[in-house]
Amino acid sequence: MVIQKICCLGAGYVGGPTCSVIALKCPHIRVTVCDKSAERINQWNSDKLPIYEPGLDDVVRQCRGKNLFFSTDIAKGIREADLIFISVNTPTKTFGNGKGRAADLKYIEGAARMIADLATSNKIVVEKSTVPVKAAEIIMKILRANTKPGVEYQILSNPEFLAEGTAIVDLVEAERVLIGGEDTLEGQKAIQELCWVYEHWIPAKNIITTNTWSSELSKLAANAFLAQRISSINSLSAVCEATGADVSEVARAIGRDSRIGPKFLEASIGFGGSCFQKDILNLIYLCECLNLPEVAAYWQQVVDLNDYQKTRFTRKVIESLFNTVTDKNIAILGFSFKKNTGDTRESPAIYVSSTLLDEGAKLHIYDPKVEEEQIMYDLTHPLVTSEPEVVRKNVSIHSSAYSAVTGAHAIVLCTEWDEFKELDFKKIYEVMMKPAYIFDGRKLLDHETLLNIGFHVQTIGKKLCRTSSIRAQGSQTLP
């Protein structure tokens, strides 16, 4: 079979960008991205896409209406496709067996059942969502238990490694594409068909093929390794603050060892995003189910350390402000989980903000890309607060950093947006309450300059002291 039509179930952060790039690179393949949310599909068909991702608007503009379509007509999408990506969400279960750890596979199962119901010809079904090992077996069981005469399925695992904020570059210049399939003639043929799609722009040597289970596990392993590096450097940031070592210098020094490498050694307020915590918890649950408690405990530490880092940073903010933030105005700069995305899933800013709100603070939040409704939704969510009315009263959303900081006792920088580096901090100092505090959770700002202006500054992984030439008023060491 030569693949002519692709359908993707799930028009989210993965399905949308991935299929847009496939459409761009394979002009003769017709790509239809389907979602059961009409609102999401309408946004994909509008001028304001549902997600902010640098470069995405351009790709969509080039292909939409030619060989790229966004539709709620899932039945048509499935029937016509030769190859179907399942790119639905796989959140952590919030109730029942495995609550708080296991991946909830109800959307995967739902997608498989839709395909089983609607398919009338042979399909290659590709699991793109991140799933626990052996999830492909669920899809396989559902499809093969409902096979209609003349319809055959091949199930492949093809996890996605894009990171938000750099999704288009990650897709166009993917370091590797991973495809897992069954070790049968038909399985290998299906792998080759999917390889052919990617080979339109990815060099064949960068396409790795494995068995299905290795492919599924590799995705969890990759995220666990990346998150583990962040927790490792964050653990050392606490040592740096207590000793006078500088975590950036430590990262630079160890990163020069090619066995360690320089990436993902940026100490921070803690990692966020929809993937790291969810996927490690997923791995932990898998280990527990496989009766491997020591392995589960090892990975649990990565999550625990991340929680510790968020708590440690927030505690430092409160303690520095004389151990009370009640009725104080605090500017939160950045709410997304990293720069260049409007996504707030598991953003550390949510934890920091909700803790400060619990302590009675009045928050003034500014983020260049996160909408007001999203911030309010996150902070009033029942898992975050039992007093949504109080939250609504004490949170103001601002359309610029300058407006957020006016009259503030402190600035808490949660996301490393480039524009925060360009702010005029002299001007900001003038409009803030004194003493004026800055807590830089991303090591983003020029601390020397801030100290010189008169700010009290604290950051991650470095004890900041004023030099003797600097006004004594803001001299600062960490607790």
Known binding residues for NAD(+): 10-15, 35, 40, 88-92, 129-130, 164, 275-278, 345
Options 7, 19, 63, 275, the catalytic residue: 275
Burial 280-308 (b: 16+ CB within 10 A, else e): bbbbbbbbbeeeeeeebeebbebbebbeb
Of 128-167, binders to ligand UDX (CB under 6 A) are 160-164
x-or-dash string of contact with ligand NAD, 253-292, rule CB under 6 A: ---------------------xx-----------------
* Residue 275 among the catalytic residues: yes
CB-nearer residue toward ligand UDX: 374 or 403: 374
Minimum separation from the CB atom of position 358 to ligand UDX (A): 22
- State the nearest-atom distance from the C-beta of 85 to ligand UDX, in Å: 15
Of 1, 4, 27, 37, which one interacts with ligand NAD (CB under 6 A)? Answer: 37
Which residue from 462, 458, 173, 461 is spatially nearest to 475, judged by alpha carbons? Answer: 458
Q: Which does 230 bind (CB under 5 to 8 A by kind): ligand NAD, ligand UDX, none?
A: ligand UDX
CB of 35 to ligand NAD, least distance (A): 4
φ, ψ at 4 (rounded to 5°): -110, -30
CA dist., res. 44 & res. 50, Å (int): 6
Question: Tokens for 280?
Answer: 């490690």
Residue of 43, 89, 92, 228 interacting with ligand NAD (CB under 6 A): 89
| Contact partner, 74, from ligand NAD, ligand UDX, none, Cβ < 5-8 Å per class | ligand NAD
> Which of 63, 59, 47 has its CA nearest to residue 6?
63
275 lines the binding site for ligand UDX (CB under 6 A) = yes
Q: Which partner from the list ligand UDX, ligand NAD, none does 223 bind, CB cut-off 5 to 8 Å by kind?
A: ligand UDX
Please report the DSSP string for 379-400 in residue order. Answer: HH-TTT-S-HHHHHHHEEE-SS
Q: Identify the helix (H) or strand (E) that includes residue 133.
A: none
- Using the minimum distance from each CB to ligand UDX, give the nearer residue, 127 or 160: 160
Phi, psi of 75 (to 5 degrees): -60, -45
Binding of residue 230 to ligand UDX (CB under 6 A): yes
Q: How far apart are CA 23 and CA 1, in angstroms?
A: 19
Select from 139-147, 159-167, 452-460, 467-475 the region that touches ligand NAD (CB under 6 A): 159-167
CA 203 to chain centre: 27
Kindly state the tokens that stand for 334. Answer: 């950045």
Binds ligand NAD by CB under 6 A, chosen from 15, 165, 272, 342: 15
Burial class (CB in 10 A: 0-12, 13-18, 19+), 100: exposed
Rule CB under 6 A: say whether 111 interacts with ligand NAD.
yes
Nearest distance from residue 408's CB to ligand NAD, in Å?
A: 32
Q: Which residues 163-222 are close enough to bind ligand NAD by CB under 6 A?
A: 164
**Using rule CB under 6 A, residue 451 touches ligand NAD:** no
Q: Which of 284, 135, 140 is nearest to 221 (CA)?
A: 284
Q: Can residue 367 be called a binding residue for ligand UDX (CB under 6 A)?
A: no
Give the burial string for 235-273 (b: 16+ CB within 10 Å, else e): bbbbebbeeebbbbebbeebeeeeeeeeebbbbbbbbbb
In the bound state, the residue with its beta carbon closest to ligand NAD is 12
Residues designated catalytic? 275
